[in-house]
Every structure is written in C-alpha cells, then in structure tokens.
Structure 1
C-alpha cells in the first residue's frame, strides 16, 4: 500500500515534468525532498507565503512560484482526502 507521502512525492515529481525531464528531476530528488519536508503532505500543506517565496527564489531548485503553489495545494488536497 502506498503512503500519503509516497503518493505526494510521485504527484509532485510528475508535475515537475512541465519544467524538467526525468533525468533532471532525479538529479534534484534529494534537494526536492529537503525543500518539501520529505514530501510530508501535512507539513507542506501548512507552508505559507514566506516559504513559497523562499522556494521559488532558490536558484538550485529552479521552480516557478506557480509550480510551488501547485505542489502545496496538492499537499492540502491529499491531507483533506485522507480525512474524508
């Protein structure tokens, strides 16, 4: 059975295909895990404007603000679905 964190990680990584190819995504996998709290949807879903701007401005990550917001919104949806 897949956990919420594993589901969220797969969803987030797949959404990054709009900006990267799989090779680039996998090269940055650990950086993404650090940035998004190990893809814990409970933690990521609580990220606010400060965290969004910090992530979006991080040159090593190179994700647009809209992509960061999408990842955080997906975390919120996973959390909400797990309580439904």
Structure 2
C-alpha cells in the first residue's frame, strides 16, 4: 500500500508527516517529541516561550536555535528568568544565537515572573492550567495535513485562560501549536510511522 499523499518517505525508509523536511533535528523532533505528553511547569514554560518566538517564523528556525535559547534563558528556569532585568534584555537583544525580538524577550521574562508568583499559587501550576484543556482523543486519525486545524475550541479556551492570568504573547493558534508539540493532541497523520507506533 502506498503512503498517503501528505506523508514523506525519508532516506532512512520511514514515512513521516509531510511537514517534516530532511533536516536531522526536524526528524528527531517529529519522531521523539511532537505529540508526546509533556509535563512540568519548567518544560511547558520553555515550550510556550519557544512557540511565542516562533510566531511569524518556521519552527525549524526555532529548533536550530533551541540550545541557544536554553543557554540565553538559563535553561528556562522560571525563577532565574523572572529575575532578569534591563541589562539582561540588552544582552539577549545582542545574542545572535536566538531570535532577537524585544517584545518577545520582554514577554518571556514577564511570563516567568507570572509563573513564579500568580500561577505558582494555583494547585497544579502551569501544568494543570494547560492540561485541563486537553481535548478527548479523536475517534479517527487525521488522513491528511489539510485535516489539521489551526485552532480548536480547546485552544481558544486555553489561550483565553492563559491571558486571564496575565500570560503574554499567546493566542489560539499558538495554544494549538503547544497542544500538538506537548502531546495534548496527537496529530500524526495516517501513514506516518509514529501514527502506528505505541505512544511513549
């Protein structure tokens, strides 16, 4: 049986979702991270921050700079980032290993401060706030890339909930991208090897 039109067979013989290119890091991300359940405030803070930086750019641009982001933002430790001041903003604006955007840098710092103060006061923290918006599993797997939505009622609700506590640089599209990457939804399409593999 031939693979679905939106599935690409790479030189390693594996069929993957068609958005995955030939970049080794992109393949690894698709195979090992995308659609895998991610928990923990720090991990979700990192993912939300990177999704915000990705806005207007391709995800591979962010992946190629992820280690740079991690170094620049102290491993996305919320307490450390929350302590960043104007000198740190200027340092980050001069750091060529990341995407240099003042609004996104300042939003990341503000979100860290929010995470260690207001959100930390809620039982379950950011993890619970995010995961309580996970939708019920689909009854059928997406057949093609066109079947993947940009937003859903759950992502609209998640973005609204984050904004309600003061989170910056998040909308329903960013929230859905988080849901995909953090495993709240599994959007590997029919024919992709990960669609047939047991979920980690």
- The alignment's TM-score, normalised by the length of structure 1, stands at 0.89
Tell me the equivalent position of 2:83: 46
State the aligned residue count: 84
Equivalent residue in structure 2 for 1:2, among 35, 39, 44: 39
- How many angstroms does 1:24 deviate by? 0.7
Task: Show the counterpart of 2:109.
Answer: 72
User: Aligned partners of 2:96 and 2:56: how far apart in 1?
Assistant: 14
Match of 1:23 among 45, 60, 66: 60
| Other-structure match for 1:83 | 121
> Which runs of 5 or more residues in structure 2 are unaligned?
1-37, 123-200
* Residues 11-50 of structure 1, C-alpha deviations (whole Å, 9 max, x = no match): 1011012242110100011110011111111100110000
Q: CA deviation at 1:58?
A: 1.7
Distance in 2, Cα, partners of 1:19 & 1:57: 20
Aligned-partner Cα distance in 2 for 1:69–1:17: 15
Please tell me the root mean square deviation across aligned C-alpha atoms, in Å.
1.5
Contact 2:78–2:115 under 8 Å retained in 1: yes
Report the TM-score when normalising by structure 2: 0.40
Whether the 8 Å contact between 2:53 and 2:99 is mirrored in structure 1 is no
Structure 1 residue 60 displacement after superposition? 2.9
More helix by share: 1
- With a CA cutoff of 8 Å and minimum separation of 6, indicate the structure with the bigger relative contact order: 1
